Amino acid sequence: MSHDRATRILALRHGETDWNVQGRVQGQIDIGLNDEGRAQAELLASALAEEPITAIYSSDLSRARATAEALGRATGVALQLDAGLRERHFGAFQARTVEEVERDHPELARRWRSREVDFAPDGGETLTEFFERCVTTATLIASRHPGQTVALVAHGGVLDCLYRAANGMALEAPRSWHLGNASINRLLFTDQGLTIIGWGDSAHLSANTWRDEVQDNRA
């Protein structure tokens, strides 16, 4: 695949939720955006409104879908839902805070923290299963759009998998990169796989701080 036939990917995390703030494991539980998350989604959409986006794919969980819908309104591009972009299924850990998991299941929490690739919480996915799902889904989508730009609106864990795939990093390696809500991450897909162009761009969200200051001054 020549460079001009490469697929440009905008990998986007959903806006903030109350469970993000609380440190509660969301997994595949369908939690919506909070007020801050909805504002972040609009800022993200505005930042990408002039990008030549051909297609928008989103996880079908509402926090990602609502973020993608804002982008669809800004660009006029139809939204396509794909359950392959869902967050990792955390099984029995879902709906619990990290502190609760560590208190009630210290050994399972240790295995989770150490990123054991074949460990799954009861009823959930292993890291290996999750990684294969995410990379396969992103690769299939990208291969449909050679020479075009596509947006993938998903979750922190999904973006982590794409980052690791692009850098050839082991699943058990500690994470040192940012996965912020409503951040912009840019990748290129060719026959050789994924390559990172830019990561963790959140400059567009600074407008939210400015807006809050203006509103405070009007109060």
Contact 13, 160 (CB under 8 A): no
Residues with Cβ within 8 Å of 204's Cβ and at least 6 positions away in sequence, in order, are: 43, 44, 46, 47, 182, 184
Contact 185, 201 (CB under 8 A): yes
* Dist CA 211 CA 2 (whole Å): 43
Of the residues 16, 42, 87, 125, which is catalytic?
87
Active site residue 14: yes
Identify the three-state secondary structure at position 191: coil
User: What single-letter amino acid sits at 104?
Assistant: D
* β-strand partners of 195: 188
Active site residue 155: no
Task: Tally Cβ neighbours within 10 Å of residue 210.
Answer: 9
DSSP state, residue 6:
P
Mind telling me the catalytic residues? 14, 87
